[in-house]
Amino acid sequence: MGLSGNTKPNNNKHEGKIMKIAFIKTFLNPKQVYTHSVTFDYLIASLLRSPLGGIIETKICFSPGEVIDYKPDIVCCSTATEAFMRMQEFAVMIKKEVDCVMLLGGTHITAVPQTLPDIFDIAVIGEAEQTIVDLLTCIHNKTSYKEIPGLAYKENGELKITEKRKYMKMDDLPIPVYKDIKYEKSGAVPILTTRGCVNICSHCSEQRIWRPFRVLSSEKLVDVMETHYKQSGKTSFLYLDDISFYNLKRVQSIRDILKERGLLGKLRVTKGAINSELVTEPIVVILKELGLKLIGFGLESACPEILEKYKMGRVKVSDFVNCMKLLGKYKIRNGASTVWGYPGETLDNMKETRDFLYEWNGKNSFYTFEQYVCQPLPGSDLWDMLFEQGKLSYDMDFSKIQIKPDYTKDDWFYANEDNVPRETFVKFIQEVSKELKKIRKETKGKANG
Ligand code: B12
Ligand code: SF4
């Protein structure tokens, strides 16, 4: 496939021809490989509604072999940090067999374009619905892509980053095309109702990738649900956002529009995310009406000293207590994520969080806690801090940045060795996970708290 970033196109293979585009994501956890990704649904929808719509063919692939068999002209690769090295391996395998333009996008390369490997022809930085249309139009027409905002590419070995791409209004985004959707066991349809987050946390990369916080209007959101329902008959939806329910007005308007259209109770939102400090009883009452079964929120740490480091003083342990009590009262299961090993965290700090988890897990089977290791995700303040300390680099092995590692191995990055040795840390988390499992078994079905 010819590229015209430089002045001369390589060949004319595509004139008057269909442009075949393969999409592929990489994962470290084999269980996640088939989770449906709205990333590609948005990109495909954007291409289809553009003038390129009539001349493209798309395929979502799950392995390099599938891409090779498809023989695409363009390969769209997407990855988070932990599977970035795997994505490179896949790209090498594909490029060996197929003459194609290899594109890379997603959270990792957006946060650290400095890590762009040579195997990729061009990286797309940040929100890409318009960028992909502009870029593929240039590739198709064999004109230069060098001035398109939102790109990174190499020229004579030097990294070039074009002007930042402006974000679109969420209502101007296309309704995602659910291409080759593989539903979760529950059959729920994944949808995105917001982009970004209302907060900034030191361990999170959202501030660099998706700021400012934007929302799909409630009207458009219900349109998306209704469109999908009419097409597929599916009645259950899961909101994939970092934060889905950020104030009372929002949940009221979603509820009211569903009601006006006779869809309340028929179309159900079964999963979504909140920020504990924003939860009030009137919000939870409506979440119950919407059908919520599981709400996720970031607990991170129940030790005030460490929590302050994550959430920069914005959230108190009392906010978690309030949030969990309210969710428990309305029998909505919470999936709160705990993050262990912030640089400087002591074993005593960890014990404080552990005791909180045991106490709350013991009260009610609706309180559940996920365990993660604190990792410097590129784009976060934590990444910047450890990078400046020389503990990270752009050519490091990024597959070490695992927030849910295999504890039997030591192939993951650990930032808190000085305070809690890795061995003690691992033993501690394993014990906590085991105990929480035991407590959950004992409280199964118990819903008062
Ligand atoms: C839903 C979700 C999941 C789901 C589904 C993932 C999937 N199948 O796509 C599950 C639960 C499986 C998951 C798993 C993980 N996740 Co996750 N996940 C999310 C979440 C909340 C939404 C993802 C999403 O759909 N976004 C909306 C789409 C439209 O955005 P997007 O994917 O970034 O794509 C846009 C652009 O980036 C660009 N683009 C992306 N790729 C490409 C490729 C090309 C070629 C082009 C042109 C453009 C392009 O175009 C899109 C449209 O604008 C994000 C947070 C977020 N707000 O994005 C975290 C997030 C992506 N996850 C994160 C993490 C850490 C993980 C896990 C490591 C957790 C774990 N150990 O289990 C794994 C890693 C999985 C992996 N290898 O990708 C981090 C990644 C940070 C990082 N630098 O690595 C994020 C950013 C959350 C956070 N704030 O920390 N995740
Ligand atoms: S950790 Fe959660 S609350 Fe904090 S900025 Fe990231 S998405 Fe928002």
Structure tokens, 336? 């709160």
Q: Is 288 exposed, middle or buried (0-12, 13-18, 19+ CB in 10 A)?
A: middle
Note the ligand closest to the C-alpha atom of 192: 1
**pLDDT over threshold 80, residue 444:** no
Fold type of domain 19-161: Rossmann fold (3.40.50)
Do residues 40 and 78 touch, judged by C-beta distance below 8 A?
yes
What angle is formed at CA 290 by the lines to CA 221 and CA 372, rounded to 5 degrees? 85
The one-letter amino acid at 18: I
Is 198 near ligand 2, meaning CB less than 6 Å away? no
Percent share of the chain, pLDDT over 90: 84
Between 204 and 443, residue with greater pLDDT: 204
Extents of the domains making up the chain: 19-161, 334-444
Question: Using CA of residue 243, residue 246, residue 248, residue 253, what is the dihedral sign?
Answer: negative
Question: What is the pLDDT of the chain when averaged over all its residues?
Answer: 92
Q: Which residue has its alpha carbon closest to ligand 1 atom 90?
A: 204
From residue 113, alpha-carbon distances to 48, 109, 117, 144, 160 in Å are 27, 5, 9, 20, 9
**pLDDT over threshold 70, residue 1:** no
The confidence score (pLDDT) of residue 211 equals 83
**pLDDT over threshold 60, residue 5:** no
The model's pLDDT over 38-60, given as tens digits with 9 standing for 90+, comes to: 999 999 999 999 999 999 999 99
Structure tokens, 57? 């063919």
**pLDDT over threshold 60, residue 447:** no
The model's pLDDT over 63-81, given as tens digits with 9 standing for 90+, comes to: 999 999 999 999 999 999 9
Note the ligand closest to the C-alpha atom of 38: 1
The confidence score (pLDDT) of residue 30 equals 87
Structure tokens, 103? 């594109």
Label residue 121 left, alpha or beta by phi (over 0 means left) and psi (-120 to 50 means alpha): alpha
The model's pLDDT over 114-159, given as tens digits with 9 standing for 90+, comes to: 999 999 999 999 999 999 999 999 999 999 999 999 999 999 999 9
The confidence score (pLDDT) of residue 253 equals 98
The one-letter amino acid at 310: Y
Instruction: Compute the average pLDDT of residues 185-211.
Output: 89
Q: Which residue has its alpha carbon closest to ligand 2 atom 6?
A: 204
Q: Is 122 exposed, middle or buried (0-12, 13-18, 19+ CB in 10 A)?
A: buried
Q: Which atom of ligand 2 lies closest to the CA of 197? A: 8
The model's pLDDT over 354-385, given as tens digits with 9 standing for 90+, comes to: 999 999 998 877 888 999 999 999 999 999 99
* Ligand 2 centroid to residue 72 C-alpha, Å: 37
Instruction: Compute the average pLDDT of residues 6-22.
Output: 61
78 forms beta bridges with 25, 105
The confidence score (pLDDT) of residue 8 equals 33
Structure tokens, 108? 């990792």
Reported as a pLDDT band with limits 50, 70 and 90, residue 2 is: low
The confidence score (pLDDT) of residue 57 equals 97
* CB-CB neighbours of 7 under 10 Å: 8
Quote the CA–CA distance of 408 and 261 in Å, as a whole number. Answer: 52
The confidence score (pLDDT) of residue 34 equals 80
